[in-house]
Structure 1
């Protein structure tokens, strides 16, 4: 059964709906995490966050790869396209920067909604590095298994204060 209302929406409204869906998804991700964090502590919440991302990032990457009709080995060019379609792409201010060697792509988050929300609530920053390494490496490998990732700066090991 097709959703007739969805089918009838103009492009501008569909884009707005995608942005709202992205915000809803992030809110759900934060709500379950904070529930575990408050009840069982940060270590337990981080364990479950890592396990959830270990699975979800592959699902997301496969769907985006299929949507973009990427070839078997799309390389960093395919990864750059795929990163632009993640849920986060509508939420965080980020840059994709090519290094001079042409073999290195840097994904840099300038503003992170999660960290800013925690800051507004007076909560400590989310120690996202361990989960981020699982998430982004898994996403990249699913797009092209030849790609490897390295974290340059991420809380709690911030080496670049100009980004999140």
Structure 2
């Protein structure tokens, strides 16, 4: 089987199931309830993603370079377009194209994007990063769903790493 076709199939299914369960919960309960449950899901899913990436790339230990490689992989695998800049102790993620925002626009639900981002982006990247490096601070600088040109997220380590001489 063609690996690219298989990847596209699973990517499409992942996006569909994420949107469908949210809309069904929204329909039977409320948008607020769906967003609350979605937040609980995103407290766990990034951990699963990070652990699988560690396994795939045979990453041992908690290292910032592993986090950088994992973020690059995650963004590419999920069809984000952007770049990552790393200069210790700061990692800056700039997103120019977000597949989630594109889906919300396509389904004419863009008006919900800022609320969803408030609940999800703040959780997802922090939880993902914590699987690689303890003591990271996470800050959102800008978001496309709020009218900015790009999403900019910053991770900073607050750890003091001893230098052995």
Normalised-by-shorter TM-score class: 0.7 to 0.9
CA deviations on 1:66-95 (whole Å, 9 max, x unpaired) are 2212221211x2112112333763322232
Structure-1-length-normalised TM-score: 0.78
Q: Secondary structure at the match of 1:140?
A: helix
As a proportion of its length, which structure holds more strand? 2
* Structure 1 gap segments, 5+ residues each: 1-8
Aligned partners of 1:106, 1:87: CA distance in 2, in Å? 13
Q: Secondary structure at the match of 1:144?
A: coil
CA deviations on 1:139-162 (whole Å, 9 max, x unpaired) are 100122243322222366x3x711
The aligned runs of 1:14-25 (5 Å cut-off) are 14-25=3-14
Runs of 4+ in 1 over 4 A off after TM superposition: none
Alpha-carbon contact 1:74-1:144 (below 8 Å) kept: yes
2:107 paired with 1:121? yes
CA deviations on 1:33-66 (whole Å, 9 max, x unpaired) are 1222233222111100010111111111111112
Call closer, same or farther: CA 1:51–1:44 in 2, change over 3 Å: same
The aligned runs of 1:23-38 (5 Å cut-off) are 23-38=12-27
Counterpart of 2:83 in structure 1 is 95
Structure-2-length-normalised TM-score: 0.77
Counterpart of 2:148 in structure 1 is 161
Match among 48, 63, 67 for residue 59 of structure 1: 48
Q: Secondary structure at the match of 1:84?
A: helix
* Structure 2 gap segments, 5+ residues each: 152-165
Aligned partners of 1:68, 1:105: CA distance in 2, in Å? 20
Aligned partners of 1:82, 1:70: CA distance in 2, in Å? 10
Counterpart of 2:57 in structure 1 is 68
Match among 134, 140, 146 for residue 129 of structure 2: 140
Match among 70, 73, 76 for residue 85 of structure 1: 73
Q: Give the aligned length.
A: 148
Counterpart of 2:158 in structure 1 is none
